[in-house]
Structure 1
Amino acid sequence: MQTRRSFLKFGAGAAAVGAFAPLTVNAQSSNIKWDESHEVVIVGSGFAGLAAAVEAGKLGAKDIVVFEKLGVYGGNSTLNAGQACFADTDLQRKLGIKDSAELMVKDQLASGRGYASEELLRHSAELGPYVYQLTKDCGCVYRDHIINTGGTSATRSHQVVERSGAGFIRPMLKTARSYGVKTKTRHKFEGLITADDGTVLGIKVRKGYHTDHEDSGKLINVRAEKGVLIATGGFAANVAFRQALDPTLGDEVGHTNARGATGDGLIAMLAEGAMPIHLSFIQSGPWASPDEGGFGYGAGFSLYNFPHSIAIDRNTGMRFMNETADRKHRADLEIQRRDKDGKPNPALLIAPKHEAQKDPSMENVLKYNVAWEFDSVEAIAKHFDLPLKPLKQQIEDWNKYVKAGDDPQFGKRMDMSTGIYMTAPFIVQRLWPKVHYCQGGIQINTKAQVIAAKNGKPIPNLYAAGEVSGGVHGVSRLGGCSTPDCMAFGVTAARSMMKA
């Protein structure tokens, strides 16, 4: 029996195919006027697109072009915390951390709740060491510290010194250009150009595009000799699209994405007959703050402090979750924090300043009123109208858990809290989820080929990588795992095109 949820999960993709069918232009190559022709055509300049450009250059491609819709490079990739989960690296070994691709896949499968693709996750995890080295060869510099993200069995999230995705994007863009890669901003992807047999011949692009004027620029036809890689990211910024898939994700829930994350590439591939998968699996970030826009400084503060801090329900003054559980678990619980009228009543993340100050994010969250410093538990309770007695008891209990190395309340991993007691002064930040990542998209295989819905076979010359693809992570993606996933399948797409 088809439920409303199952229709949203699978039917919305089919509806999109019909609604956006005009985006695809069917033509014989001899009947179309090509304005440009390139060996490898890449749409999107984020992690996936630039990894593909660098790899294609390494493999000897002579004419590579990267098209970017916005006026700056990097898209959504520049807005993350500069983290990437890799297993069994030299830095992990140096820090005494035991890890493996096998364990990383196991953690991700658990987070995916039965929907993740073991084959695709394994492909990405096993490529991890190569991608890690590729980024270092491009000039990316990692901190001598690895972050613990929720839902993992080993500490594996490596972070660049900039603590921003720009720490990956800038060196990779420079390296791509050293291979002669052409990079073009303000070129909006408008659709695929295909032959009668479905083979992708090229793309239609709006040259000179400006986001405030949808019809700006000039339409041009770009031929792709070896193939087209769609690496345009997700659709978190398209509120109407995401709310049609998940009714809970309306305007009340913000997002962390760049304004360009509107699903252009996804919609065009659906119009071409690509297989939609898991479209309603949309993840919200539990580390977000309602007191700033976008990803913000609060995310970095939360990510650093969750392992040794406590999240408090303002109605009860007590913890309500494992602060290092996977993202979906925490975001689902956070969005349930409401006042008696059902309005959002964001939870509080309480961190001890003696530890929080070790991370540079503390200075920014205090400077921009995303977090506040308090000298006592009483001051916190008064400011946020919390019941004082249970809050004091909760902090006392928490310190006992730290001493014992065990959390009987929610089963939190305590190895990252050893010796870090909850004592004054405190730094407190509000928590409210924001839409962060779309697990759903179009289906790909381990060659990064796009799969057709009508026959389950690859669409010739069409590749996808990153958030625009779906089915990889299942219901919930673990933190720090999108960056290596994007890069691994960008690399894979380049290899597939160069072998074709």
Structure 2
Amino acid sequence: MSEKNLLGRRNFIKGFGAAAGVALAAPAMAVSEKADGVKWDKEVEVMIIGSGFAGLAAAIESVRQGAKDVHMFEKMSYFGGNSAINGGLYAAPGTPMQKTEGVKDSVDRMVADQVKAGRGVADEALLRHVAEHAVEGLQLTLDAGSEYHPYLQQLGGHSVARTYQTTVSCGAGITQPLYKECKRLGVKAHNRSKFEGFLVGKNGEIEGVKMRQNYHFGEDQPGEVLNIRAKRGVIMATGGFGQNVDLRMAQDPTLTAEVGCTNAPGATGEGMYEMFRLGAIPVHLAHIQSGPWASPDEGGFGYVSNYTIFNFPHSMAVHRLTGKRFMNEIADRKTRADAELSCRDEKGEAMPPLLITSYKHSKKHPNTKKVLKYDVGWKFDSVEALAKHFDVPLKPLKEQIAEYNSYVKSGDDKQFGKNMTKAKGKYIEAPFTVVRLWPKVHYCQGGVQINVKAEVKDSFTGKSIPKLYAAGEVTGGVHGVSRLGSCSIPECIVMGMTAARSVMKA
């Protein structure tokens, strides 16, 4: 394979991996039934389906609000869901670290950034509710034992630095402490438990669910189905559908099985499907976000993603065909993903662009060692070696580096208007670290419509479906066309807490 066409068949296969193959088949559909005459096998006070950020936060807050019998069900063999493997990035306005670093921020400013990224169709009321309670949600994670790096990051589309990141640089730094806190509080957690449908009362209220026990993902299931009554209500925290290729392609035919995905294999959307069948309003299903920080050289989220998220503010992205920059490296995700996808060779074939960083700056992030160790990134002692390795025209590349460094010095990016605050004093100079960029499906903005109480709206009545709540990626409309990075965890945590408060007041 030539050096020029580095995104060959082998890397595509390595990128989307076995998990995407599992998701090629549509998930087995759940079917809801009337609760009339149902023999209940079990009764619980609060039922939570899903064990990611939203489900865990809902479980903890339910107990804090006085619940005595909280049950959390997870269809996979492990707890944490897709949340455990995300980037561990949490945005909030008015945090103690912002005050320490002298960053001026506000709820209004964070909401404005998200509304802009959402292209005018984001749900401002929900964004404001999350922003107003984001610090409270952050405190919940700290109380449970989550630990964060002692510095803030400014992610693409954010007008200021407001993002915390776990010290382990992934979502497990939050899900594991929250899960331990759930166990400490007496929450009953059940894995290998697959939601099979709602059991609906005479007035349309959710009386309970059908739950399959001993479920093994991707296999024929002989396990017993139990009818479980939820005394106060059901909180759906079942996540997105990024691994459901059929549903992805129904919304966007370009998102085929050869498009990688950062999600866990269980992100297939059955819970969302069944809420639609029940009458929930579908919102923004076609807005599926690809992460512009991903690499074609590794599967899933990988090591490169967090590496690039940290380094984008003080790095330079170049097209290998021209040696020139082609985007604002900290624009919102959709803007960058679209720009990267436009990087093609003379034949129109994919040509993953390069992110070039000075090693002395990149090495401050712990993933740099792993990126180099596992050969998904490269280190070069000269610009000549870098250009030769990737077949980039040397003269234009040298000129671009010099031009970019002039922007670092002046603080004014005349090419793409990049905010250079985090690039101050960080010039692009040898030795360099380099990774390749290519977007992967990461987040589904679409899902069921909810209000600021986390109640699921009914398309038939215009009111809320009684005793049904939802939080996290299974909901839709919150972020609009493009979600800003580090805004999903506060959304999940805050709306999980909100759902718990609502179910306890019902």
Alignment of 1:184 onto 2:190: yes
The reply to whether residue 155 of structure 1 matches residue 161 of structure 2 is yes
Give structure 1 stretches of 5+ with no counterpart.
1-18
What is residue 402 of structure 1 aligned with on the other side?
Answer: 408
Verify: 1:495 aligned to 2:501, yes or no: yes
Cα gap change, 1:322 to 1:458, in 2 (>3 Å): same
Whichever residue aligns with residue 187 of structure 1, its letter is: S
1:295 and 1:330 map into 2 onto residues whose CA distance is 17
Deviations 1:449-479 (A, max 9, x none): 0011112210001100000000100000000
CA contact (8 A) 1:210 1:217 kept: no
Match among 441, 454, 459 for residue 465 of structure 2: 459
Instruction: Give the whole-Å Cα distance in 2 for the aligned partners of 1:311 and 1:76.
Output: 29
> Given the alignment of the two structures, is residue 25 of structure 1 paired with residue 59 of structure 2, yes or no?
no
Answering whether residue 261 of structure 2 is matched by residue 236 of structure 1, we say: no
In structure 1, how many angstroms separate the alpha carbons of the residues matched to 2:226 and 2:321? 57
After TM superposition, which residue ranges in structure 1, 4 or more long, deviate above 4 angstroms? 19-22
Of residues 63, 66, 72 in structure 2, which corresponds to 1:60?
66
CA distance in 1: counterparts of 2:203 and 2:252, whole angstroms:
35
Could you report, residue by residue, the CA deviation over 1:372-398 in whole angstroms, capped at 9, with x for unpaired residues? 011111111111111111111000101
What amino acid maps onto 1:223 in structure 2? R
Query: In the alignment, residue 25 of structure 1 is paired with which amino acid?
Result: S
Question: How far apart are the structure 1 equivalents of 2:469 and 2:298?
Answer: 36
Of 248, 257, 260 in structure 1, the residue corresponding to residue 263 of structure 2 is 257
The 3-state SS of whatever aligns with 1:260 is coil
| Aligned partners of 1:334 and 1:432 also within 8 Å | yes
Question: C-alpha distance in 1, partners of 2:407/2:351?
Answer: 27
Matches within 5 A, 1:366-377: 366-377=372-383
Deviation of the 1:28 alpha carbon: 3.4
Contact 2:27 2:268 in 1 (8 A): no
- Supply the AA of the counterpart residue of 1:467: E
Q: In the TM superposition, what is the alpha-carbon distance from 1:217 to its structure 2 partner?
A: 2.0
Q: CA deviation at 1:342?
A: 2.3
- Specify whether residues 292 and 21 from structure 1 end up closer, same or farther in structure 2 by C-alpha distance, changes over 3 A only: closer
SS of match in other structure, 1:284: strand
Kindly provide the CA deviation profile for residues 77-135 of structure 1, in whole angstroms up to 9, marking residues without a partner as x: 01112110011011111121111111100100000001101100001100112111111
Of 118, 136, 146 in structure 2, the residue corresponding to residue 112 of structure 1 is 118
Q: Is the 8 A contact 1:22 1:271 kept in 2?
A: no
Alignment RMSD (CA, Å):
1.4
Counterpart residue identity of residue 266, structure 2: G
CA distance in 2, matches of 1:172, 1:216: 32
| Structure-1 separation of matches of 2:359 and 2:125 | 43
Residues 79-98 of structure 1: matches in 2 within 5 Å?
A: 79-98=85-104
- From 360, 363, 367, the equivalent of 2:366 is 360
**What is the one-letter code of the residue matched to 1:285?**
G
Match of 2:444 in 1: 438
How far apart, in 1, do the equivalents of 2:99 and 2:497 lie? 25
- Unaligned stretches of 5+ residues in structure 2: 1-25
Structure ranking higher in strand proportion: 1
Q: Cα offset for 1:495?
A: 0.2
Corresponding residue of 2:20 = none
Aligned pairs for 1:41-440 (under 5 A) are: 41-440=47-446
1:399 maps to a residue whose letter is: N
Tell me the distance in 2 between the aligned counterparts of 1:32 and 1:21: 23
TM-score (norm 2): 0.93
User: What secondary structure sits across from 1:469 in the alignment?
Assistant: coil
Distance in 2 between residues matched to 1:367 and 1:332, nearest whole Å: 29
Q: Which amino acid aligns with 2:334?
A: K
Give, in whole Å, the separation in 2 of the partners of 1:201 and 1:288: 42
